[in-house]
Amino acid sequence: MGNPSDGYGGKTLSAIIKNFTAEVTLTESEKLYIAPDPYQFDSVKTLQQHIRQDGYYGASRLFKATLNVFARYFNTHKNSQALQANFTVSYQTNIPRMVGLAGSSALIVAMLKALIKFYALEVDQRILPSLALAVERDELKIGGGLQDRVIQIYEGLVAMDFADMELVGGYFCGRYQCLDTKLLPPLYVAYSLDEGEPTEVFHNDLRSRYEAGEASVVNAMQEFAELSDRAVCALTQSDHGLFSMLMDKNFDLRQSISTLNTQHVAMIEAARACGVSAKYAGSGGAIVGVCESEATFKQLKVNLESMGCVVVRPVIN
């Protein structure tokens, strides 16, 4: 809830889902080596599908940028002699990419955690999301906000406030409140197998409009933050109906300020036709909503799978 206001002094509510994982392994070696992306394709058709979903970029640039930001942080704020040993980087992930499920930031966060463990270092937990964001925003010029990185670091269910950022260790950090995941009603997550779109397509345009002072965008960011506050209250009062309605409002507000991918909007419409709420999970390509009835969930799967989507019950704990 509240996205995409995390990059604009807003508030968000986010949960980690354990259905998907990203794992980075560092193995000590003589030279520093980042293993190439392990792509193999059964046919030209499957290669084309991969490009539609993932683009032409692999994970190696994420790891290089992460290591650069991490080393810069320690050279400036910590012990520059701590990063002496070399290693080989390997990884695996089953997170669908470019559908708003934070696949790129998950690899960056996994890399940060691996570096901390490999070098036996201590870093303030509150700083880590800001370090992760710096990798994409500052090094790779990919638009985005702190929300995904915060939930990947803290996990569980977290209410985030970015209105009064505090400078900690050279990085601006928000205020993060961990909530009980049992407050959440039964949810569903659905994502497209075909219609991937880089997050920067949405965020870079929004940033320029916000910085230009476009009233509809500036006002929407305040409304997004208010939706997040109301959502937390709804959860604490076990008002699942209100929470579900607020999810719909979050998407409708986003749609009012942006021209959205028609295939992604069709996913929202198909879900709502089943009588459930639906909003983007991120920037498009994946949706999330409340679905308390198993009978409705079965119908939801039928509707969305016919459109080339995968529908799951998210594991949240």
Q: How confident is the model over 220-263, as pLDDT tens digits? A: 999 999 999 999 999 999 999 999 999 999 999 999 999 999 99
pLDDT at 197 over 60: no
Q: Which fold has domain 5-179?
A: Ribosomal Protein S5; domain 2 (3.30.230)
Which of 99 and 278 is assigned the larger pLDDT?
278
Cite the residue boundaries of each domain of the chain with CATH code 3.30.230.120: 5-179
Residues designated as active site: 148
181-312 topology per CATH: Alpha-Beta Plaits (3.30.70)
Higher pLDDT pick, 204 / 124: 124
Q: Within 10 Å of residue 317's Cβ, how many Cβ atoms?
A: 11
For residue 288, which of 256, 262, 259, 264 has the smallest C-alpha distance?
264
In this predicted model, which residue has the larger pLDDT, 233 or 43?
Answer: 233
Q: Kindly indicate the confidence band of residue 144, based on its pLDDT and cuts at 50, 70 and 90.
A: confident
pTM above 0.85, yes or no: yes
In the chain, residues under CATH classification 3.30.70.890 are: 181-312
